[in-house]
Amino acid sequence: MADTPLKTYHGACHCNKIKFSLALPEIKTFTECNCSICFRKAYAWVFPPAGSLVFEDGFGEEGLRAYEFAARRMEHRFCKSCGTGIMGKDMARTLKDVDIESLTGNKFDGATLEPHFTPHKFHGTLPMTGTPDSKTCFGSCHCGATTMALQAKELVEDNEFIQKCNCSICSTRGSILIYPHTSAFTAATCSLQPLVPYTFGPRLQEHLFCPMCGVYVYIRKKDDIPLEKFRKYGGSKSQGLGDEELKEKMKVWEGIVPVNLRCFEGVEWEKLNIKKGDWKGWLEGETFDDLDGSERMFLKEFSSTGF
């Protein structure tokens, strides 16, 4: 290790309230664990030498919240403002100059460790839009303060649109999103631990995460968006729509709720065809620069079809 040249990496949470640097040998691999917390948060672990993590002045540990569970082997720390997981050791997804998709992920079977995770019981009202070919799936954040129910077709191959994209928020969180109608999804949240909304860019929607465990659960569309703001960010063909047509387009967008499928139990991941959304470099004018992947997916689709 002493003879291995060190490289300095810079990292941050998504909202940039936590900033840090690491000095360690060039990162060529990371560790990916399938335990209940690591899988939900899509952790990509690196393990730097002691003392190599340095927080920038004014952007340090005071902005982090800690979460422990079960045997309390590790303190999971995440940003209070945006929910980005930063460290138990250190997580590679938060490093700005590391392309996770190009690295080799070393698998660690943390799911076999005891005590085993017990799924949380759903405490809400079931969605009522079931069809003959749909089934109800149940999920939660890690601590159980928020539980969810989702009605969808059998989760195999292309029955449902499921996407993993490389926009800034999705790549930082490693989320895998499914896009049900709002009537096919319900969430029940403990009143003592309400979900934290995080917005950025044009602030068209809120990315909700649990304040206790930091798990990102779903996206809630904002209901107070001015029509002209939606026109501005709604793709090139929105510019030429009349008010009534634009309102109809906005209504369709509001009816979609992106949900983090990582939070759900019993998903047979090997049977899914997960689309890879390349939104990192796709722009339709500078107004798309700050949109997250789910917004771009919708707006690109409907602006290109002329909805």
**Region for 160 from its dihedrals, namely left if φ exceeds 0, alpha if ψ lies in -120 to 50, beta otherwise:** beta
* Per-residue pLDDT tens over the stretch 169-218: 888 889 999 999 999 999 999 988 899 999 988 888 899 999 999 999 99
- In this structure, the chain runs to a length of 307
For residue 28, report the phi and psi dihedrals to the nearest 5 degrees: -120, -20
Give the Cβ contact number of residue 1 at 10 Å. 7
- pLDDT for position 284: 39
* CA distance linking residue 299 with residue 293, whole number of Å: 10
Strands (E), 237-304: 259-260, 275-277
Looking only at the bridges linking them, the beta strands covering 90-91 and 196-198 are unpaired
**DSSP-assigned beta bridge partners for residue 146:** 189
Q: How many CB atoms lie within 10 A of CB 233?
A: 20
Whole-number Å distance between alpha carbons of 1 and 164: 35
Please give the single-letter amino acid code of residue 238: S
- pTM greater than the 0.85 cutoff: no
pLDDT digits (tens, 9 = 90+) for 215-267: 999 999 988 889 988 888 766 667 778 899 988 888 888 999 999 999 999 99
- How far apart, in Å, do the first and last CA atoms of the chain sit? 58
Average pLDDT, the chain: 83
Going along the chain from its start, the domains and CATH numbers come out as 7-110 (2.170.150.70), 134-305 (2.170.150.70)
Q: How far is CA 143 from CA 146, 199, 276, in A?
A: 8, 23, 29
Cα separation, 218 vs 205, in Å, equals 10
Q: What percent of the chain has pLDDT over 90?
A: 44
DSSP character string of 17-64: SSEEEEEESPP-EEEEE-SHHHHHHT--EE-PPTT-EEEPTTSSGGGE
